[in-house]
Each structure stands twice: as structure tokens, then as C-alpha cells.
Chain A
């Protein structure tokens, strides 16, 4: 009886060891947070479009087709890295991407897009970052997939890279085929 009890902590210790080791080895980023907005309608917002100079009204725009919403800024280095993959998604795959220019200067942003090419169907200025807060954004870039009913289905934190491009695109397809 006494021996059995003594062996229990040892078993417990090794199970913990295995669990911790597993969490260490798998590909995960503990600072990545799940979005509470998943399966909710897009937060409504009105802001100036950098391209048409008109007011962008979210209620009118998010319906009928799958839309990507990408928060970006010219001061954000990973956004630059991601840019080519956004172009790929819009030019090759024909996806509609709405860019939200987060806490940035409009002229710099337009010049940046002119130089690198513009993957966005529309670019909205979020000068004070309030739209970002409504979307639960905490680090750039962030990309949301919105389904044809205007419901947020997925959020990617960080850039779309060579490594994640395929997985991201199949996520879009998966949501489109639902």
C-alpha cells in the first residue's frame, strides 16, 4: 500500500514533464489571442476612404461576397513583407480586400501603395486607431475573413508569409464553400 502511494508522485511528475515538453515542441505562439468577434457581425464603422475620398459605411459594404479586411500601416515592417501575398490574393485569386490604414499618414500611405502596387479594393483611414479597437486589433498586421453574410469567420494575427499563404488561402476557400 505504502509503495503504491510513493509511486504516484513519480507518475504525476513524468506526465507533467511530457505535457510541458509537448507544449514546447508543437508549433504555437502563446501570445496569439483568439478573437471574441468570431461568428459575430462586423463592427459597424464609418470613416473616410483614402481612395474615393468619400465616407465608407460598413453596413453597405459587407454583404454578398467573401471579403478580407486587412489592418496595415506603412510604419509596420511585417506589413511590407506581407504585401506581395495580399497582391497575390487580389490579383491571382480575385479576392476583395479592404485595407484599414491604422494610425498612419494618408499621404504616406497612398505613396506607399503607389510604389508597391495596390491590392485593396478600398483603403479606409483609421487615424486614431478607434476602428482597430472595435475590431479587437492589438498588433499589425491582422487579417479578418468576412463571409458573404457580413460575419467574421477568422482572424490571422501577424503577416501572411510564404509559409502561411497556402493555409490562409485554403481557409478562405473553406469559408467560401460553407
Chain B
């Protein structure tokens, strides 16, 4: 049993460090200029594939993802700014196309609730701690 666990753990580590760079960019898509290619890759990593919905277009092999990757590369070559490219995409597909939701009034709760819960949790722990100390003494 213990041996099994150890082997699983070792395999998990091997997998983790060998299959990091899985992406779907096809050879003919890659731009000549390495700096532009890196910019395009970084943008694609933040763009959701609307077909698979939990993958970035950099990871997805769906035809629409490929089209969007090509479109981003055309825009990068035209020297459009990152903001312009993101705006182009959100104007058509909405904020959902961004893997990381932007901080807006409508998403305020989404971003802040984790911190609120964290503070609540800490307060409860501190209070319980105080109580148990009182009990002991």
C-alpha cells in the first residue's frame, strides 16, 4: 500500500515536469519574429476557447481556437496593443472570452468575497482560541 502511494507520487512528479509545455500552436502559425510570437502566445494564454470553454486557445485544437490564434497573430504583426486585441475579442464574445474576469462593478463580489471569507475565518479561529485558553486557565 505504502509502496503504491510512493510510485504514484513519483509518477505524478514526472508527469508534472515533463508535460508542462502542451500547446496546440501549429508550426505554420508561428511568427518569424520571436518577440511577436511570444506576445501572441502570452495573449492566447489568456483567451478562452469558446468551444471547449475550460481551455485557453493556446491549448485548444478546436478550429475556432486556431482561427482566433491566427487573428491575434495578424494583429500583433500590425502592432496593435494588447488592450486593443483584448477589446476586439471582448466586443465580439464578451468578458467570458477572458480566462481571468476583469475587475468591474459587476464582478466586485467575485473578487472580494474570498478575502471577506478569509477575514471571517481568521476571526472565528482567534475567538475560539481565546475561549479555549480561558477554559484551560
Contacts and interface: CB of A to CB of B under 8 A. Distances in A.
Interface residues of A, number: 16
B64 interface: yes
Majority SS at the chain A contact face: loop
Contacts of B91: 36
A154 to B, nearest CB: 16
A34 interface: yes
Given A128-B67, A133-B67, A133-B71, A36 B94 contact: yes
Contact of B50 (A33, A129, A134, A135): A33
Contacts of A36: 90-94
A138 B94 CA distance: 12
Given A36-B91, A36-B94, A138 B50 contact: yes
Contact of A136 (B53, B63, B92): B92
Contact of B53 (A31, A34, A37): A31
A136 B97 CA distance: 10
B38 interface: no
B112 to A, nearest CB: 20
A37 B71 CA distance: 20
Interface string A17-53: 0000000000000010111110000000000000000
A68 to B, nearest CB: 20
Interface of B: 50-51, 53, 63-64, 67-68, 71, 90-94, 96
7 contacts: A33-B93, A35-B94, A36-B93, A133-B67, A136-B93, A138-B50, A139-B50
Interface of A: 31, 33-37, 103, 128-130, 133-136, 138-139
